[in-house]
Structure 1
Amino acid sequence: MKKDSYWAQANRKTLAKSLSELCYEQALSAEQESEESYIVRLKSGVNYQFNGIPTIWDWLLIDGETIQRCQGAEKLIANDVAQFFIDAAEDLKIAASTLGGLLHELANTLVADVALLEKREAFSAEDLAQFTDEQLQCFLDGHPKAMINKGRIGWGAQEFRTYATEAGEGVRFLWLAVRQEMTVNGHSERWNWQQLLKESLSADQIQLMEDACQEKKVNWQEFIPLPVHPWQWQHHISQHYAQQLSRGDIVLLGQFGDHYLPQVSLRTFSNVPRPQSLHVKLPLTVLNTSCYRGIPGKYMQCGPSLSQWMQEICVKDCELSGRGTGILQEVAGLHVPHLHHEQVKGTPYRYREMLGATWRQSPASHCLEGERHLLMAALLQKDSSGRSVIAALIRSSGLSVEKWLEYLFDATVVPLYHLLCRYGVGLVAHSQNLTLVLKGDRVARVLLKDFQGDLRLSQGEFPERSDIPQAAMDVLDQLPPNYIIHDLFTGHFVTVLRYLSSQLMLELDFPESKFYGVLASVLRDYQKNITENSPKMAERFQVFDIFRPHIERVCINRVRLSHGWGDSAERPVPIVGGDLENPLWLSEQKPEKKESKLNTVSSTEI
């Protein structure tokens, strides 16, 4: 396949996704012309016509190969997603400066997508399904809900080739010594800073670092070791922290240690030669998928104790321990506040998140013999013929689709719902926050991670969480139950299951009504079993009513279009559109009530 056809393919794929998500978020409207034909009419006078299949989510699956750009009597195959955004700018209420930022991020995303299309060409879905988790993350498309998900503004072509996830290249960190009083830090009682060094450096490398410390008069009684990404050092730290460097409060020791592979999240790294070693999460001040990829300092002191508390819950709670639910614990965190930006109220958040690190347990360290781990995002990945990893796993497992899904839902959705109802803990469980542990190509259990900003608490009386660390209570958001339930509805159902159910409908002819019927059955069984032993949980199920008829439509792409690409003091917050019919509620209705009302509908690519 020639390079230009990859470019056209990447454009069609992104155009289909963009049309789909913008209609779903009600920024555009798709009118049905015939059984499978739809049209989006724009104020610019340009229309986009395509074939699509309606889904249970008031959302269209668009066939990217059928999209045509219609202007007057002229109809052309649509291979230019940038032109679409120009055509739709008035409808989307995009200011010229915002459109410029969007096109910048779009160009970067398309280049990255072309690299992925080329890279995956030689592999079938069955091949991808058998890759190790670390290998497979270098082949993944990224968040399906975000129209433009590989923008990485701040990087050029060289950085894409060297540091991007799809490049599949390992990176060695630079190491700094930071004077202790300059940091905000915390670590588990089971770990200290010297032990953390051993997770990244061999004995020989540690000796080389010690030699550098002696030469530069660094002693570990006064300093703390901190890894930094080479790009972050060159483009931000060496300039922004020049004052601390000149004073000797921060000392550059050099480049040491193992090679680390960037995961699909871009800023989390796995150890290449020693997969069981701790993962390292580092700030990268690039704008990617709606925000800068920094690390907020406010979670550093509570992260280890919060994740330890979560792990203790998973051990002592029979619903969680019986399902093998585990936590990828954040064992240490370190943040170096900027001397000047920290004093400026309202300074752009990216300046407050430039230097720090989080150390987190690796999934490999949790796997037993005969088990392997896989990021849940991998289930959504398709090969060049449109066949998915989830379907490949179902086929190779020897299980029926229903049985395979029962294992999946019992291992993932039930623990998330249980944490919500028993403890008032909401996790934004998108597909990159959940690691599946597989046994025989079926899901055996789940490992949860990423509590920095993706864990929130429900307001109300929850005596079961009375022992949560005070440091966590001081920084975690506490919101009403009807907000927190969206960490499950929107963070998981809409962001993950919406795409899985539609893919199985297309590829395995498995109806979405059956998909959500299986989920409803698993959740009802859980509710029935737990209320027999804990009758008070029935009240919690009413508070967190997962079977209510309607749920709010939370929109992330519209927020980016309205906020633009300028700096802000806080990260963007999603907005709410019109209500959706809840697929769980629909699955329990009589057949005549299950029919979706999709006159003007919404829309990912077939």
Structure 2
Amino acid sequence: MTTVPPSSPSRLDALTAPTARRAHRLLVAKAIREFTHERLFAPVRGARVDDAGRHAYTLTLGGVRWTFTARALPLEHLGVDPDSVCRAGDPDAVAVDRFVLDAAEVLGLAGEALDVYLEELASTFAARCHTLAGERPSAADLVDADYTAVEAAMSEGHPGFVATNGRIGWGATEYAMFAPEGGRALHPVWLAFPSELGGRWTWPKTASAGAAVPAPPPPITEAVAGLWAERAAALDVDPEAYTLIPVHPWQWEHRIQVAFAPDLAAGRLVHVGEDPDAFTAMQAVRTLFNASDPHAPQLKTALSVQNMGFVRGLSPAYMSVTPAINAVVADLVDSDPLLARWGFGVLREYASAGYTGDAFHAVGSKGPHTKMLAALWRESPLPRLTEGERVMTMAALLHRDGEGRSVAGALVERSGLTAAQWLHGVVTAYVTPLVHLAAAYSTVFMPHGENIVLRLREGRVTGAFLKDIGEEVVVGADGVPLTEQTRRIRIDLTDEDLSLSFFTDMLDGVLRHLADVMDADALLPAEEFYAVVGRALAEYTALGLADVERLGLDAEDFAHSCLNRLQLRNATQMVDLTDPSGSLLYAGRLANPVAAPLRRALAELRQDTAA
């Protein structure tokens, strides 16, 4: 039985009545907020109840009356007060599973789909209880915490999805061992296979990163190479004829030793041993950070658990071109002086490996069985920092500690800036570079909070790194030249497609939630928040260096893409990975809160220039 540290209680110990009540309220408040935002619910607004702008609301689901108070913000966002929620007039009857059962007909859930969704939701609830019950760092502590300590402190998961921490396939002990919020050390298992039964792919020799960007370290550490040398000698095989691949300990125990038993028995797969370095899980649970050597590369490994709409495997076919795709993107980013000025860079996925000698590949399977044994190496952000800088996942800007204090508020306080000045720094580091890449190069990514690593100095945001490049980047027809090897990322993108990278992923997916945090904490009213965003976009537009106006960032509205609708439709396969854009679901159009302030600021800037 694994012993869980006192600061990280077991799941059973965390399931106390007080903790459960709090977790239920937080999740129901989030469900009301997000399902209303996606126009699945239409709560009836009543009288104003306080000077903070809250109103009373009523929502009838399955004949049951739910009531709550909330602040109505732009983008049809309700800042719901968790403590105000009642079911049928009873505050003690608030439970997220009961809420979903009341709402099942409205949500279109029945039968197996309802069962699967409830299971993911129950696991999300258990994870929330776990983070509420343990001793967690305060928001002020996180300002000075190291990279992995911040990762382990995150508690909510994706801000938009309600069932966000399913991790179906893990037991309670495995959750304690492998979830990032547990903060426990783990040791990847290393395997080797004859190189003709798969491959390892590395950064192309022709890639020429900018002089300011250090070369990535070798994928295989000396310690792992030594382990393999000893094992190869014992087997009397040529170590150079084999490829080494890291495996998540859970994957080794539950998938590889079972589904790949014939390969192990035949020597097509060779068990090398555990990595002597200690790693910790990141918020993206299949990504591992080297805690023994923080400057060493991160490992992203296949992990066949179901989480937030997908089984989290890795495809050897995709891995085979990942370093080449990263070379294209890194060369583009590193050669642009504007991006350097904004402190923007990418964390390069510079090596990958995958095994294809198994029976599943032999029969041409396209399902999750061919995504069980692959990995990539991603550089750590730490060697890229300047003196006095630190890094933090951008997801932390939406985090509140156990006392309800926000990390965003703590960073503003540390920075010595006004909230508007601090926010302008966030937008300049995060939004402006990605808008520039879309406008100037027709290149877009998946820039949600977990995929952005912020660079900070004394609470001020000084830049950002983007990660998850190989599987997420898309280049339009008029974008950068691509080789035959990398052409799978080329897609015909309309101007509206490019603009939705801003509207859907950044404005609605991240900034909407940060606006709620800053408004609730009386740091910056939501209208002023979006005025700052509009001002930063106007400053970029006024540079006149790219055709940013084709993106229509000052449009009155934009297509309302809905994440939870995807998960409610199919919780195990949200989108068709061969046609992700064709799988999206929309609910009309949303009013654009930055349109007017962007136009106003741009007119002022142009008037100043003319004068």
The two structures have a TM-score, normalised by structure 2, of 0.88
Q: 1:603 is matched with which residue?
A: none
Query: Residue 82 of structure 1 is aligned with which of 97, 112, 120?
Result: 97
1:181 aligns with 196
2:24 matched to 1:5? no
The whole-number CA distance in structure 1 between the counterparts of 2:455 and 2:575 is 38
Amino acid at match of 2:229: E
From 581, 584, 592, give the equivalent of 1:582: 592
Paired residues, number? 569
Shift of 1:520: 1.1
Change (3 A) 1:220 1:186: same
2:276 corresponds in structure 1 to: 257
Residues 1:103 and 2:122 are matched in the alignment: no
Letter in 1 for 2:39: Q
- For structure 2, the 5+ residue unaligned runs are 1-13, 49-54, 208-214, 601-611
Q: Is the 8 Å Cα contact of residues 195 and 243 (structure 2) preserved in structure 1? A: yes
Pick which of 579-588 and 549-558 moved more. 579-588
**Structure 1 Cα separation of the partners of residues 528 and 420 of structure 2:** 8
Please tell me whether the aligned partners of residues 412 and 460 of structure 2 are also in contact (alpha carbons under 8 angstroms). Answer: yes
Cα distance in structure 1, aligned partners of 2:490 and 2:198: 21
The residue aligned with 2:496 is: 482
Query: Partner residue of 1:128?
Result: 142
Query: Which of 226, 234, 242 pairs up with 2:253?
Result: 234
Please tell me the residue identity of whatever aligns with 1:506. Answer: A
What is the DSSP-based 3-state SS (H/G/I as helix, E as strand, rest coil) of the residue aligned with 2:34?
helix
Distance 1:569 1:251 in 2: 34
CA pair 108-451 structure 1, distance change in 2 beyond 3 A: same
Residues 582, 306 of structure 1: alpha-carbon distance in 2 compared, 3 angstrom cutoff: same
AA partner of residue 481 (structure 1): D
Mean CA deviation greater in 310-319 or 323-332:
310-319
Whether the 8 Å contact between 1:375 and 1:431 is mirrored in structure 2 is: yes
Aligned to 1:423: 441
Matching residue of 1:195: 218
Deviation at 1:428, TM superposition (A): 1.2
Residues in 1 aligned to 2:440 and 2:91: alpha-carbon distance in whole angstroms: 55
Matched with 2:529 is: 515
Shift of 1:6: 1.1
Q: 1:378 to 1:564 in 2, by over 3 A?
A: closer
Displacement, 1:2?
9.2
Q: Percent sequence identity over matched residues?
A: 28
Distance 2:373 2:596 in 1: 47
Q: Is the 8 A contact 1:457 1:484 kept in 2?
A: no
In structure 2, C-alpha distance between the alignment counterparts of 1:386 and 1:272, rounded to whole Å? 29
5+ long unaligned stretches in structure 1: 591-606
SS in 1 for 2:427: helix
Corresponding residue number in structure 1 for 2:605: none
Report the equivalent of 1:561. Answer: 568
Distance 1:351 1:387 in 2: 43
Tell me the distance in 1 between the aligned counterparts of 2:259 and 2:574: 17
Amino acid at match of 2:285: L
1:597 maps to none
Deviates more, 1:543-552 or 1:470-479: 470-479
Separation of aligned partners in 2, 1:351 and 1:269? 22
User: RMSD value over aligned CA atoms?
Assistant: 2.4
Relative to structure 1, is the Cα distance of residues 481 and 397 closer, same or farther in structure 2, using a 3 angstrom cutoff? same
- Bigger shift: residues 184-193 or 432-441: 184-193
Q: Is the 8 A contact 2:152 2:283 kept in 1?
A: yes
Q: Distance in 1 between matches of 2:541 and 2:457?
A: 26
Deviation string 1:222-269 (CA, Å, 9 cap, x unpaired) is 110111111101111122222322332211122232010000111111
Q: Which residue of 1 aligns with 2:232?
A: 213
| Structure 1 range deviating more: 303-312 or 52-61 | 303-312
Q: Deviations over 1:105-136 (max 9, x none)?
A: 12211111111112355x32111222111111
Matched residue, 1:599: none
2:556 to 542, 549, 552: 549
Following superposition of structure 1 onto structure 2, how do residues 440-459 of structure 1 map, counting pairs within 5 Å?
440-459=458-477
| Partner amino acid, structure 2, of 1:30 | P
Alpha-carbon distance, 1:387 to partner: 1.4
1:567 to 1:378, Cα distance in 2 relative to 1, 3 A: closer
Per mean C-alpha deviation after superposition, the further-off stretch among 571-580 and 370-379 is 571-580
**Which residues of 2 match residues 141-540 of structure 1 at below 5 A?**
141=155, 142-189=157-204, 195-198=218-221, 202=223, 206-337=225-356, 339-342=358-361, 347-348=366-367, 350-459=368-477, 461-462=478-479, 465-466=480-481, 468-529=482-543, 531=544, 534=545, 537=546, 540=547
State the Cα deviation string for residues 395-426 of structure 1 (Å, max 9, x = none): 11101111111211111111000000111001
Distance 1:180 1:194 in 2: 21
Change in Cα spacing, 1:343 to 1:312, as seen in structure 2 (3 Å) is same
